[in-house]
Amino acid sequence: MFWDSDVGKWIEAASYALAHRRDDDIEAKIEAAIDDLEKAQAPDGYLNCWYLGREPDKRWTNLRDNHEMYNAGHLLEGAVAYFQVTGRRRFLDIMERYLDHIYATFGTGPNQRRGYDGHEEIELALMKLYYLTGERKHLDFATYIINERGQQPPHYFDIERERREGGDTRQPYVHGNYEYSQSHKPVRDQDKVVGHAVRAMYLYTAMADLAAELNDPELKRACEVLWDDVMQTKMYVTAGLGPSAHNEGFTHDFDLPNQTAYAETCASVALIFWAQRMLHLDLDGKYADILELAMFNGALSGLSRDGEHYFYANPLESDGTPTRWEWHTCPCCTMNVSRLVASVGQYFLSTAEDGVAFHLYGGIASNVDIAGTKVSLREVSTYPWSGDIKIHVDPETPATFDVKLRIPDWCEGAGVSVNGETIDLSTAEKGYLTINREWQKGDVISLDLPMPPVRLYAHPGVIMDAGRVALKRGPLVYCLEETDNPGGKVQRLKLPRHAQLRTEKSDLFDGIVTLKADATAIDEADFRQLYRTDPPQETPSTLTAVPYFLWANREQGSMVVWVPEAVG
């Protein structure tokens, strides 16, 4: 009943791909899907293929569980993207007719239902449509459903259930409570991140959009409080979110198991959405740091190198049994990571009338309008393998404006120069260095971001990682895979605290940087019984680590992110 959403996400991803290179076959497939949706749409504008085809008499009877507005949101995002790329608005017209039906059905007016969807998504889609069209009704409805969420008593889902079940309210909610859908409190009163991880991230994304658009300090404060809760107590070192498969989401503070981590790919993708919107609220490097962490680790790990297999869940430790799916009966992650990769350029920089801010690095070219002139920007680097970055700034005519460079929180000893002239980094604020000058054709910014490998230690509350370290270089979290560390499962390896971490350019995966260190290895063959009084024998060894996002692309075998540390 939620597959309309995957059609919408596919159209969105395909549209972003068309922005890079037009393709008649892809466009024909999109048009065929739009034909089917147009034929399916009811005379009153309603459009949900499950209900229209199977249960037309039950539409809008179970917003709590059955994703009608969620589906509409993803279809709407697809329609917006397709229009932006092609200028064709037939799909957008279909969705605007559907929205008119939704606006007439739900709200606070006479004969309207004060409902909202159990799975957030339409909220952020409506903000995209508002930015595209400028029509206030879309902003107003997004405001309504965000403000209405969690209002009680009575709770709308209870009203809906009583109506659906003929007055019998004894049937419990399948997930136990309304924290699952972040509808347990009004959004401005929420201070702990709870429930289904993807739903939460979509909600907070829309809240941040709305806070910025309406200049709403209470909503901004709620976003900041919830952000801090995730960062301080609930996020994996890879930017994965949600330890539990039971609710596909959050449990309690510091509950971050490794081998059973759910860390759904969709949740990391949605975290990127939220981080980007928080940057719109406040240009603070802490948001871009997490955007980058999720981009290079928690989200990218979901996609295989061949582009044809994916992870739904992203554990941080494996005994060798998990492999990426070719397909899944709930294919949300395939489309989510696809639309992220296809639209990745949208996250690298943002502009204002008086300047441009670089949030990410890795090779991008863009033409923008700043300070009344057209400016060609070209960032050249092999990032994230090297922090040696060049940014070519070429205005059509000389112009004075700001170029803001993110200096990542993980970087110490950064260096910046313009045309060879050193720039003082002491003026950097909130993780961004501002360079204001009259820019001319041929100006080149050189940015040096040293990225030595480092050890990370988890908060003592994360008991699963006590006595262990994670390895990181620049924005990349590393892991050990059995194929690079022969001799048994990688869990037998220990990293001495004072062992030097070394970088090595490798031929793997088109030339990645691996990490190596002297280590010790427990001799598993020495154990002949389950328990004994003598400690295990350890032998000198060498460990090799590869970026986490690349694991499970070669021979099947064990994997670990958090490596046991030998203190002696």
CA distance 17 to 19: 5
Whether 479 is catalytic: no
As a whole number of Å, the end-to-end CA separation of the chain is 57
Cα 101 to Cα 9, 72, 94, 97: the distances in Å are 22, 11, 11, 7
Phi, psi of 229, rounded to the nearest 5 degrees: -65, -40
CA 201 to chain centroid: 8
Catalytic residue among 12, 121, 123, 332, which? Answer: 332
Contacts of 354 (CB under 8 A, 6+ apart): 370, 371, 401, 402
The residue ranges of DSSP E strands in 440-553, in sequence order, are 443-448, 454-456, 468-473, 476-481, 493-496, 502-505, 513-522, 538-547
Which residues, at least 6 apart from 242, have a Cβ–Cβ distance to it below 8 Å? 196, 197, 248, 249, 250, 262, 263, 264, 267
DSSP 8-state class, residue 302: G
Enumerate residues 6+ apart whose C-beta is below 8 A from 96.
none
What DSSP designation does 444 have? E
**∠ CA(227), CA(296), CA(494), 5° rounding?**
95
* Contacts for 237 with CB less than 8 Å, ≥ 6 apart: 316, 456, 458, 470, 472, 477, 561, 562
Catalytic hit among 120, 248, 264, 481: 248
Residues 68 and 119 sit within 8 Å (Cβ to Cβ): no
Asked if 288 contacts 431 with a C-beta cutoff of 8 angstroms, the reply is: yes
Kindly give the pairing relationship between strand 502-505 and strand 563-566.
unpaired
332 carries an active-site annotation = yes
The packing angle between helices 217-233 and 265-281, to 10°, is 140
Q: How far apart are CA 371 and CA 564, in angstroms?
A: 54
Q: CA gyration radius for the chain?
A: 25
Q: Which residues are catalytic?
A: 248, 332
